[in-house]
Chains A and B, each alone.
Chain A
Amino acid sequence: GQNIDQPTEMTATEGAIVQINCTYQTSGFNGLFWYQQHAGEAPTFLSYNVLDGLEEKGRFSSFLSRSKGYSYLLLKELQMKDSASYLCAVRDKRKAAGNKLTFGGGTRVLVKP
């Protein structure tokens, strides 16, 4: 099975940086996803990591260490619109699993002026 942990809530100031950690324990790993979800909306894709290291995409970066079962999402130059929940999800390795994702509980980020 899979077990994914991330903090419940974080608060940061506009223009600052916030790092959301995600730790996972899995019987089979085939990639880690980060999604952003605004209240009342569907999750939207932010990043994907399958190899160790840092993936940068504009203001958002995601890091993965497979040996440590650890990832983080880094949000730079925070804007008010970044207030949302951020979901960490791990994909099952088995081909027969299709694109099965196991999600963490989500981290609610509140950006203050």
Chain B
Amino acid sequence: NAGVTQTPKFQVLKTGQSMTLQCAQDMNHEYMSWYRQDPGMGLRLIHYSVGAGITDQGEVPNGYNVSRSTTEDFPLRLLSAAPSQTSVYFCASTGQGGGNTIYFGEGSWLTVV
């Protein structure tokens, strides 16, 4: 099983560039989320989705957009990258029952110069 797949694993962007971090899960999970983790810190929620067509903001949504056109995919878009968005990004998914097992992707390391 693939689980939660994130791409790319590493990316360097110039300030002002745009890009999309891809996240896909093959477990038919309803709930998906994006977190960012800055050095020496815990994870902070950017955006989340409780099902296809439904998204909402988390703790740190500014500078990011998401969409959920299918159950499987939950891409995160940076419209105009800033150095403050240099971070590690984790996608997560879990079943609708609010199960206790939350699956994380392997992470995407993003540097904005």
Q: Does A78 contact B (CB under 8 A)?
A: no
- Scan B2-37; emit 1 where CB is below 8 A from any A CB, else 0: 000000000000000000000000000011010100
A45–B100 alpha-carbon span in the complex (Å):
9
Query: How many B residues touch the partner, as a band?
Result: 20 to 34
A96 touches B101 (CB 8 A): no
- Tell me the chain A residues, 71-109 only, with Cβ under 8 Å from chain B: 87, 89, 91, 95-106, 108
Contacts of B98 in A (CB 8 A): 30, 91, 95, 98-99
Partner of A45, one of B30, B49, B101: B101
A99:B31 contact, CB within 8 angstroms: yes
**Closest A residue by C-beta to B101:** A45
> Measured between C-beta atoms, what is the minimum distance from B63 to chain A in Å?
20
| Interface contact A31-B49, CB-CB below 8 Å | no
Q: Which residues of B are interface residues toward A (Cβ below 8 A)?
A: 30-31, 33, 35, 40-45, 48-50, 56, 58-59, 90, 92, 94, 98-102, 104-107
Known: A31-B100, A98-B33, A100-B48. 13 other contacts (CB 8 A): A42-B107, A97-B50, A98-B50, A98-B98, A99-B31, A100-B45, A101-B33, A101-B43, A102-B45, A103-B44, A105-B40, A105-B41, A106-B40
